[in-house]
Amino acid sequence: MALRVSAKRTQIGLVYPVWLIVAFWLLTLALGSLGIWVVVLQRRMAEPSLLSLTMSSIFSLPSLRNTAPQSPAFGCQLDYCAFFWAELTAVLVLCGIMARYIIQTAPKQRRRRTRKDAELKKL
């Protein structure tokens, strides 16, 4: 007499990780296109709200990843398929938008200083 045990994943345990991969890729494409739109094509000014959007996505993606069934350890197939790419894209977009923001605001500050210096010299 042998005892036989079998374990099987539920349907939601199979579908939800696939949905997470799709969600990560959609977020990656959205952040990547935002980065291209702002940094490369320069169609929009880099604003602090864009910086906060990309920063919040960096911190929210791990929370979304931890909702996977039974919270698998880092290095699972979900991570290699989507999570690491989404994090990398978010960090690169953040760096690009931050650099663009610094570049576009620096000349304005210099102009203000020169105007103030010119006014002081007149006095």
Q: What value does the mean pLDDT of the chain take?
A: 84
Which residue do the tokens 């880092």 mark? 74
Higher local confidence (pLDDT), 59 or 110: 59
- What number is the average pLDDT over the span 99-106? 87
Closest Cα partner for 82 from 42, 41, 28?
Answer: 28
Kindly report the backbone phi and psi dihedral angles of residue 14, in degrees, each rounded to the nearest multiple of 5, phi listed first: -95, -35
Question: CA-to-CA distance for 52 and 58, rounded, in angstroms?
Answer: 10
pLDDT, residue 123, reads 62
pLDDT digits (tens, 9 = 90+) for 30-89: 999 999 998 888 888 888 888 999 999 999 988 888 888 877 787 888 888 898 999 999
**For position 72, what pLDDT does the model report?**
78
